[in-house]
Amino acid sequence: NAGVIQTPRHKVTGKGQEATLWCEPISGHSAVFWYRQTIVQGLEFLTYFRNQAPIDDSGMPKERFSAQMPNQSHSTLKIQSTQPQDSAVYLCASSLDQLGGRGAETLYFGSGTRLTVL
Amino acid sequence: GDSVTQTEGQVALSEEDFLTIHCNYSASGYPTLFWYVQYPGEGPQLLFRASRDKEKGSSRGFEATYDKGTTSFHLRKASVQESDSAVYYCALNSGGSNYKLTFGKGTLLTVTP
């Protein structure tokens, strides 16, 4: 079991460019989460999929961020027109979702993508 | 809403010192509490969890006891090692239809030999 795989590990973009981050959850896990990690804000929830369906994107900045999960084996987080304040480590996590979305699941995190916007 | 407060932002210890990281929470319902550890260049990984009042979670010499009365889940270890240097996060899930983990700000532990 390779764990949650995130690519690329590092991404540098210029202000205004687009960034796409990839996540491959653990096989058999039906829940996928995206979190953003910064020194100031810590770990912030962005969005959540269950069985590929978007369930909650309440943490996503509405205008430039979007996430998709086209199949069981990968999810993408896309940031359009990147800004310096988007610089952060973006973490993807998956869980077994044995409780059917009723909470208290253990999350398994990838190593993250460090996004730097110049 | 749910919240987790970790009092210490940074802790610096010598090997074999006793460690305490304080965690207090505020949540609706009866939350499940977690400690996660994050090593440089990696994502957070579960250290242990607890779901009931007075339940003790433990792993690798670390332990914490769920205390509903004081809304606390303090992390302790009797004798730290240099390899324990990492960031430690307290987190909660308030259950029910809430699937999100709410994290504290994290505590950077540095252990010197």
DSSP letter at B52 equals: S
Whole-number Å distance between alpha carbons of B30 and A13:
43
Estimate to the nearest angstrom the gap between the alpha carbon of B45 and the chain centroid: 11
Put simply, the answer to whether A4 touches B43 (Cβ < 8 Å) is yes
What is the rounded distance in angstroms from the CA atom of residue A52 to the CA atom of residue A32? Answer: 8
Interface test with B, best of A1, A40, A106 (most B CBs within 10 A): A106
Are residues B106 and A43, on separate chains, in Cβ contact within 8 Å? yes
Of the candidates B8, B21, B29, B5, the residue with the CA atom closest to the CA atom of residue B93: B29
Q: B94 touching A, CB under 8 A? A: yes
Amino acid B110: pLDDT: 98
Is residue A61 reached through a cis peptide bond, with omega within 30 degrees of 0 on the bond before it?
no
Would you state the pLDDT for residue B75? Answer: 98
Distance from CA of B89 to the nearest CA of A (A): 9
pLDDT (tens, 9 = 90+) of chain B, 113 residues, equals: 889 999 999 999 999 999 999 999 999 778 899 999 999 999 999 999 999 999 999 999 999 999 999 999 999 999 999 999 999 999 998 776 667 889 999 999 999 99
Is any Cβ of chain B less than 8 angstroms from the Cβ of A102? yes
CB contact under 8 A, A45 and B101: yes
- State residue A57 phi and psi, 5-degree precision: -120, 30
Strand duo B62-65 + B56-59: pairing: antiparallel
**CB B103, CB B90: distance < 8 Å:** yes
Q: Which of B99, B101, B103, B105 to mutate to test the interface with A (most CBs of A within 10 A)?
A: B99
What is the per-residue pLDDT for B30?
83
Taking the CA of residue A25 and the nearest CA in chain B, the distance in Å comes to 13
- Residue ranges of A 38-67 with Cβ closer than 8 A to chain B: 42-43, 45, 48, 50, 55-56
pLDDT of residue A27: 93
Chain B CA closest to residue A92: B43
- DSSP character at residue A59: T
User: Nearest CB to B96: which of A91, A102, A108?
Assistant: A102
Chain B CB contacts of A49 under 8 Å are none
B42-57 per-position pLDDT tens digit: 999 999 999 999 999 9
How does pLDDT run along chain A (118 residues), one tens digit per residue?
Answer: 679 999 999 999 999 999 999 999 999 998 999 999 998 889 999 999 999 999 889 999 988 999 999 999 999 999 999 999 999 999 999 988 766 555 567 899 999 999 999 9
B 23-62: CB under 8 A from A: 32, 34, 41-46, 49, 51
Rounded CA-CA distance A52/A73 in Å is 9
